[in-house]
Amino acid sequence: MIGYEDFAKVDIRTGTITRAEPFPEARKPAIKLWIDFGGDLGEKRSSAQITSHYAPESLVGRQVLAVVNFPARQIGKVMSEVLVLGVPDATGEVVLIGPGHAVPNGGRLF
């Protein structure tokens, strides 16, 4: 088990996808994402293996939750700056997590 203090160290924020493109160079099918977290965080890049449920053009304007305080990670030719969160469906394919209503970009998960 972890304590609340450990959980509080993980900075999970809401952002809006501003741009999405196929990522054919990835080992597994993926989409490159540009996500606006507003304020001091601004726009960050990520890559997500979400092609089973999402087309790039359907993602623009969608709000998602992402961990914003992990170190950046090189994924192929993309430097992923945030970890977009999702849960697996019944077949193991990722379904994105986001707020049920529009919220300000940069809002922190409590």
E strands, 1-110, in order:
12-22, 31-36, 43-48, 63-67, 73-75, 78-80, 83-84, 86-88, 94-96
What does pTM read for this prediction? 0.94
Q: Note the pLDDT of residue 77.
A: 87
Residue 110 pLDDT: 84
* For residue 27, pLDDT beyond 90: no
Output DSSP code: residue 109.
P
Q: Which domains does the chain have, with CATH numbers?
A: 4-96 (2.40.50.140)
Query: For the segment 51-83, what is each residue's pLDDT rounded down to a tens digit?
Result: 999 999 999 999 999 999 999 999 888 999 999
Is the pLDDT assigned to residue 26 strictly greater than 90? no
How far apart CA 15 and CA 35 sit, in angstroms, is: 6
**Residue 100, φ and ψ in degrees, nearest 5:** -80, -15
Which pLDDT band, with edges at 50, 70 and 90, does 38 fall under?
very high
